[in-house]
Every structure is written in structure tokens, then in C-alpha cells.
Amino acid sequence: EVQLVESGGGLVQPGGSLRLSCAASGFTVSNHYMNWVRQAPGKGLEWVSVSYSGGKTSYADPVKGRFTISRDNSKNTLYLQMNSLRVEDTAVYYCARDFSNWYNTGLDVWGQGTTVTVSS
Amino acid sequence: QSVLTQPPSVSGAPGQRVTISCTGSSSNIGATYEVHWYQQLPGTAPKLLIYGNNNRPSGVPDRFSGSKSGTSASLAITGLQAEDEADYYCQSYDSSLSAYVFGAGTKVTVL
């Protein structure tokens, strides 16, 4: 079964750090563009970052310079290192797979999400 | 403010047809980047409903269809059912932002 399982969310103070993990099964992450998407409470979906072949990455402006996406192909796992967290980063964070090994092909597999709360 | 504009809500009676618009610009939908649609039921992760403007993943009923013209795209739901009550999001890529972009979402209510 093709599946993504996120972990690592929690409560953190403003300025703190968290690392999210997304374990993939049933497929190989190295064969897909892999993304993080977040959803603040009661709000819509917001794309955060993408990791693609050759170690290349891209970020949404609100997280640029603070978040780092990476993958460990040997563990078939995607990560999101979040530093200098702000209250407005509070959200459910989903990892999601692009349909193919190219950008913007449709996010066809999603994890269940992990909740990040930034509060003092 | 979202780069892609969707109506906040649409509604229809069971069996009716509803459409959701997604309006972009020359740097996203108008630049021929593909549009995708997602359905999000309350408390669940989004689900891919339409990819590549008008393609349905296996398992998605043919009541759902997508189209694209110029700088806009649309999702149509025919034969509306109670289980279709959900939030729907369009998504594409924006070359000016070098980013994936989502619409703000449309809540579909079945009367």
C-alpha cells in the first residue's frame, strides 16, 4: 500500500525549532517530487516546500531562510527542519507526493498530517 | 490573498450540477501550467480529485470533471450527492513566485 506517515509535530515556543519526518512506504521517494503543505486552523491549504531530484529544493516566501526540506533516500523519508518558528507557523503539516518525477503533476498521495503549535 | 481565486461557497440540491471556478493570471494558469483539484472532507487530509486539468485518478467518480480555458479553470460536479459536501481547492504553479499555489478553497453545501 502506498502511504505517507508524518511525525514530529508538537508544541514549541516562538523562536524554537522542530523537525518533521515523513516516512514513505509502497513507493520510492527518489522517484517523485516530494512536498510539504500546511493548513492553519480554519484556513486553506498553503504550499510550503518541494524537494526534487539532484537535491534541489524550493520554498514558499513565508518560510524561506527558516525551513529546510531534505530527504534520506536510504530511509525513504522526507524531512522538514523548521527553525525560528513563529506563531503564524501554527498549522497541520502534510507531506504529499507529486504524481510523477516532475513538478506540478498533482499531489496524489498525502499523509495524515502532524500538528505544529507555536505558542508561548 | 490567494494567487488563485475561488468562490468561498457554492450550494446545490441533490442531483443538481454545481461548478467551482478558479481564476488565475498569466504567470500561472494562463502560462499553461496544469491545474489540479482536491477534495477535503472535514477532519481529513486532502484527496486528489482532478489532475492535469481534466484527468480523474482511478476511483474518482465520473461525476467530477475539470476544464481549463485561458487564465481560468473549473470543477464541475454533476448529480450532486450528500457525500460531496466538502471543501474543494484548485492548485497550480506560478512562475513569478516559483511556487506551487492553491486557491483559498470553496465549501460545497448540499441543500
Is A102 part of the contact surface with chain B (CB cutoff 8 Å)?
Answer: no
The DSSP letter of residue B57 is P
Q: Which pLDDT tens digit goes with each residue over A70-119?
A: 999 999 999 999 999 999 999 999 999 998 888 888 999 999 999 999 99
Neighbours of B82 (CB within 10 A): 8
Contact A44 B36 (CB under 8 A): no
Model confidence at B1, in pLDDT bands (50, 70, 90)? Answer: confident
What letter represents residue B10's amino acid? V
Beta-sheet pairing, A114-118 with A10-12: parallel
What is the spatial distance between Cα A44 and Cα B7, in angstroms, rounded to a whole number?
13
Q: Which of A69, A97, A104 to mutate to test the interface with B (most CBs of B within 10 A)?
A: A104
Contact B45 A103 (CB under 8 A): no
* Shortest Cα distance, chain B CAs vs residue A36, angstroms: 11
Neighbours of B22 (CB within 10 A): 29
Contact A28, A76 (CB under 8 A): yes
- Candidates A50, A95, A84, A89; CA nearest to A70 is A50
